[in-house]
Amino acid sequence: MPRPIRAVIRTQALSSNLSLVRQYAKQSRIWSVVKANAYGHGLQAAWRGLAATDGFALLEVFEGVRLREFGWQGPVLLLEGVFDAADLELARRHGFTIAVHKDEQIDLLAAAVGPGKTDIYLKMNSGMNRLGFAPAAYAAAYARLRALPQVGEIVLMTHFANADAPDRKGIAGQLGMFESTIGAMGRSLSRSLSNSGAILQHPEAHYDWVRPGIILYGAAPRGKSKEIAGLGLKPVMSLESRIIAVQQLRAGDTVGYGSRFAAPRAMRIGVVACGYADGYPRHAPDGCPVLVEGVRVPMVGQVSMDMICVGLESVPQAGLGSVVELWGENLPVDDVAEAARTVGYELLCAVTPRVPVSVV
Ligand SMILES: *Cc1c(COP(=O)(O)O)cnc(C)c1O
């Protein structure tokens, strides 16, 4: 048997999460966000599970081309737009929709030759201060684009910094800024504002196209599993492995590099084939939850490159070969992330290429 770690990706769970997003945003069309290799799940698996989406949104033009190669003929949105003229050429050839967030991207469009109109997502910086035109510059950018023969439909777009906050305050400032800026430009234009947090919490911001990412993968926008428990979202990835060695410790024996964990009493520990080179967070502390034979047990000792250790006191039946879930169907990735002071997004994206993937 090979090294026992693997990531299981359930395409059924993706489809089910997509249907749930549709129920939340019945009036909107859906860009399924599949950037970062579909949040670590694999673009091809995502394409299979999300085939009922209205469009796929991602960053790299070649990832969009891969979707075309899989057979996807529908809309593809490049969330950061194009990075140079060659990028734009490819995007135009494949009929991708592109975000435009700075004047230089309009210059590229103006210089593009050949037939065909490119659909645009014109991005406003409504307060997050990463990408987008300042509100004062927005109408001028729109007018410049509208005058270009290379440009097709223009959708108005912004992105929230705090859509996951539990009250309306999370989006009120940015939504107000967005609305007042575009008020003068006409109500007939389509709009796209909502990420996962806003889809779940702010129906008033759904508009024409929503852009769910993390909830499609069954994890929480704020990294707290409690906040999505009961919504019906299903974890898509399970990271699984097995116990490959067992040690009997005496009181005072230590575990792993730096001897961080010292056994308070005699105890059995299991060694699991999963380490930071698989994407497990190296900064996870003692006590970080791990599921062994279906029981939550504490991780003990420093995470090493290829292994972690777990206390087996509460699972006397566990031993060599016992099944371990690092996160997934029975242990929310957000619970592991919370213990490791990060969010599920980061853990899912960080699974490394050496982990074999089974798409089911
Ligand atoms: C990543 C991203 C999203 C999806 O965010 P989630 O929090 O995962 O739903 C939506 N819109 C833009 C512009 C993004 O970059």
Residues contacting residue 353 through CB under 8 Å, at least 6 positions apart? none
Average pLDDT over residues 146-171: 91
Query: What's residue 252's pLDDT?
Result: 98
Tokens at residue 347, please?
A: 């853990």
Query: What's residue 170's pLDDT?
Result: 83
91 secondary structure, DSSP code: H
Establish whether residue 11 lines the binding site of ligand 1, counting it when its CB lies within 6 angstroms of any ligand atom: no
Establish whether residue 151 lines the binding site of ligand 1, counting it when its CB lies within 6 angstroms of any ligand atom: no
Q: Is 257 a catalytic residue?
A: yes
pLDDT at 304 over 80: yes
Tens-digit pLDDT profile for residues 214-232: 999 999 998 899 989 999 9
Tens-digit pLDDT profile for residues 64-107: 999 999 999 999 999 999 999 999 999 999 999 999 999 999 99
Establish whether residue 53 lines the binding site of ligand 1, counting it when its CB lies within 6 angstroms of any ligand atom: no
Query: What's residue 351's pLDDT?
Result: 98
- The percentage of residues in the chain with a pLDDT greater than 70, rounded to a whole number, is 100
Does this model's pTM top 0.85? My answer is yes
Query: What's residue 190's pLDDT?
Result: 96
149 backbone dihedrals φ, ψ, rounded to 5°: -65, -20
Query: What's residue 169's pLDDT?
Result: 77
Query: What's residue 23's pLDDT?
Result: 97
Average pLDDT over residues 338-358: 97
**How far is ligand 1, taken at its centre, from the CA of residue 197, in Å?**
9
pLDDT at 168 over 80: no
pLDDT at 357 over 90: yes
Instruction: In the chain, count H helices and then E strands.
Output: 11, 18
Query: What's residue 222's pLDDT?
Result: 86
Q: How far apart are CA 149 and CA 272, in angstroms?
A: 59
More confident residue, 139 or 169: 139
Tens-digit pLDDT profile for residues 227-277: 899 999 999 999 999 999 999 999 999 999 999 999 999 999 999 999 999
Q: Is 169 a catalytic residue?
A: no
Query: What's residue 289's pLDDT?
Result: 98
CA 200 to chain centre: 15
Tens-digit pLDDT profile for residues 191-200: 999 999 999 9
Residues contacting residue 297 through CB under 8 Å, at least 6 positions apart? 289, 290, 291, 310, 311, 312, 313, 314, 315
**How far is ligand 1, taken at its centre, from the CA of residue 241, in Å?**
30
**How far is ligand 1, taken at its centre, from the CA of residue 33, in Å?**
7
Establish whether residue 223 lines the binding site of ligand 1, counting it when its CB lies within 6 angstroms of any ligand atom: no
Q: How far apart are CA 211 and CA 288, in angstroms?
A: 32
Decide if 207 contacts 190 (C-beta within 8 A): yes
pLDDT at 187 over 80: no
Q: How far apart are CA 219 and CA 229, in angstroms?
A: 10
User: Across the chain, what does the average pLDDT equal?
Assistant: 96
Decide if 121 contacts 98 (C-beta within 8 A): yes
Average pLDDT over residues 20-45: 98
Nearest CA to ligand 1 atom 4: 213
Query: What's residue 166's pLDDT?
Result: 72
Establish whether residue 132 lines the binding site of ligand 1, counting it when its CB lies within 6 angstroms of any ligand atom: no
pLDDT at 291 over 90: yes
Query: What's residue 167's pLDDT?
Result: 73
Tens-digit pLDDT profile for residues 107-130: 999 999 999 999 999 999 999 999
Query: What's residue 188's pLDDT?
Result: 85
